[in-house]
């Protein structure tokens, strides 16, 4: 029996190699995995042409995944430094990388990225279209937009972010005003501009079936972008965001009818008290499709520290149903991130994802924390470093401030609670004075 996509295979009862790998990773029965994939609540982005992919799943009952954004631009168009960032993202166990390249040798970079990456790869084709055709945005034709999409999937991209839900009706809501930051999505703003100048409908909404033809042929997951995501706390959960989400839910059902896997992209900036409600709303309006969020950033006043504001929001979001977190670095809103910015962003996002998995009771998540606690109780410093999410930084801290006694740290010395409890429970004397 043949199949077109991972969803099609699940609905036909066919176990694919990708499903077998994911089931082992997630400690999930293959029957449960397939049932959820058939419904659309779990996806395995896996382009047929991405031959070195180490597949991962996203969705219901699956561990929270993280994504790293990178790519070349007009101000930073050198491919080699970005490939160094790719390797760092892979070394730091990011499950996905999004290539947001918008200028220069974008196809060369994309092909090299896919060739070296076992992580799933996503792109936003409309970014590439402007640079690829070297013409004004308004002059790009519908066919040209779709030709760029086709190039991306032929190169092996596993998921495409396309802002299909920002149609003319929702665009009118944006023009009515009331937002402090209007449209902050780069892809959303480009499509809004194209629609306004050409007095035309969003080509990806109007010709959605044409997009599905491409996704079905290559088994590419459609990441339905949130062109109206809030760019500040004031704009969260407003009519523009909600109306677009309703449209994305309608498009999700159309994609599922074609066996095309879907995930939904979400906010953005949002106060903490609104996050849980937004997660529930997305799952209801989009029929349980996996939810992919940027942050959410829980305050607008921390430039330079937005990896922290995003990690707070990401942990709350994932605990309440978000399935996939896009990393945010300290450079967010300010510049292209450096390697150090990337590291800070990846660690912050991994902390958020893991904390949410613990809260949700994901199988095996708490074991990691319990093993760290055992190492701490035994004052097993090397064991603690080996278990650390980032083994390098704690080792550097330890080496930078050597204690008098190896079984303590330089903060407490002989007054270390763990050291003294271990000694007294073992029947040994405790000498606190020098």
397 is known to lie in a ligand binding site = no
372 is known to lie in a ligand binding site = no
269 is known to lie in a ligand binding site = yes
59 is known to lie in a ligand binding site = no
164 is known to lie in a ligand binding site = no
421 is known to lie in a ligand binding site = no
409 is known to lie in a ligand binding site = yes
401 is known to lie in a ligand binding site = no
69 is known to lie in a ligand binding site = yes
412 is known to lie in a ligand binding site = yes
50 is known to lie in a ligand binding site = no
259 is known to lie in a ligand binding site = no
3 is known to lie in a ligand binding site = no
333 is known to lie in a ligand binding site = yes
* Residue whose C-alpha is closest to residue 416's, from 386, 378, 373, 384: 378
Tell me how far apart the alpha carbons of residues 339 and 272 are, in angstroms, rounded to a whole number: 29
- Beta-carbon neighbour count of residue 184 at 10 Å? 18
98 is known to lie in a ligand binding site = yes
384 is known to lie in a ligand binding site = no
Binding-site residue set for substrate: 69, 98, 127, 163, 185-187, 226-229, 265, 292
Binding-site residue set for [4Fe-4S] cluster: 409, 412, 416
Binding-site residue set: 69, 98, 127, 163, 185-187, 226-229, 265, 269, 292, 333, 409, 412, 416
Binding-site residue set for Zn(2+): 269, 333
């Amino acid at each position: 029996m043949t199949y077109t996509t991972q969803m099609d295979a699940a609905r036909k009862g066919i176990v694919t190699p990708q499903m077998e790998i994911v089931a082992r990773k997630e400690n999930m029965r293959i029957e449960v995995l397939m049932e959820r994939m058939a419904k659309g609540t779990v996806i395995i982005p896996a382009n047929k042409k991405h031959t070195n992919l180490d597949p991962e799943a996203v969705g219901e009952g699956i561990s929270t995944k993280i994504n790293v954004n990178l790519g070349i631009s007009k101000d930073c168009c050198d491919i080699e430094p970005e490939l160094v960032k790719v390797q760092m993202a892979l070394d730091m166990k990011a499950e996905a990388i999004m290539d947001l390249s918008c200028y220069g040798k974008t196809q060369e970079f994309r092909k090299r990225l896919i060739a070296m990456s076992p992580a799933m790869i996503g792109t936003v084709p409309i970014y590439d279209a402007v640079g690829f055709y070297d013409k004004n945005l308004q002059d790009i034709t519908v066919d040209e937009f779709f030709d760029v999409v086709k190039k991306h999937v032929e190169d092996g991209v596993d998921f495409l972010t396309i802002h299909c839900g920002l149609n003319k009706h929702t665009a009118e809501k944006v023009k009515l005003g009331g937002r402090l930051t209007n449209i902050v999505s780069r892809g959303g703003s480009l499509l809004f501009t194209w629609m306004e100048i050409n007095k035309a409908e969003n080509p990806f909404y109007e010709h959605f079936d044409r997009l599905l033809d491409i996704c079905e042929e290559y088994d590419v997951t459609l990441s339905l972008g949130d062109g109206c995501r809030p760019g500040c706390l004031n704009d969260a959960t407003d009519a523009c965001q909600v109306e677009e989400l309703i449209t994305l839910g309608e498009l999700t059902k159309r994609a599922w009818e074609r066996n095309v896997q879907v995930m939904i992209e979400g906010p953005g900036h949002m106060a903490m008290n609104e996050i849980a409600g937004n997660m529930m709303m997305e799952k209801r309006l989009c029929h349980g499709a996996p939810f992919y969020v940027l942050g959410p950033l829980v305050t607008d006043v921390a430039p330079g520290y937005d990896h922290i504001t995003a990690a707070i929001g990401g942990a709350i979001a994932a605990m309440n149903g978000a399935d996939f977190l896009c990393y945010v670095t300290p450079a967010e809103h300010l510049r292209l991130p450096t390697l150090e910015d990337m590291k800070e962003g990846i660690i912050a996002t991994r902390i958020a994802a893991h904390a949410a998995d613990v809260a949700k009771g994901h199988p095996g998540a708490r074991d990691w924390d319990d093993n760290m606690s055992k190492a701490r109780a035994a004052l097993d410093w090397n064991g603690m470093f080996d278990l650390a999410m980032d083994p390098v930084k704690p080792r550097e801290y330890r080496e930078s401030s050597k204690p008098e006694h190896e079984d303590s740290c330089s903060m407490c010395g002989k007054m270390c609670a763990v050291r003294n409890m271990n000694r007294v429970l073992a029947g040994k004397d405790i000498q606190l004075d020098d």
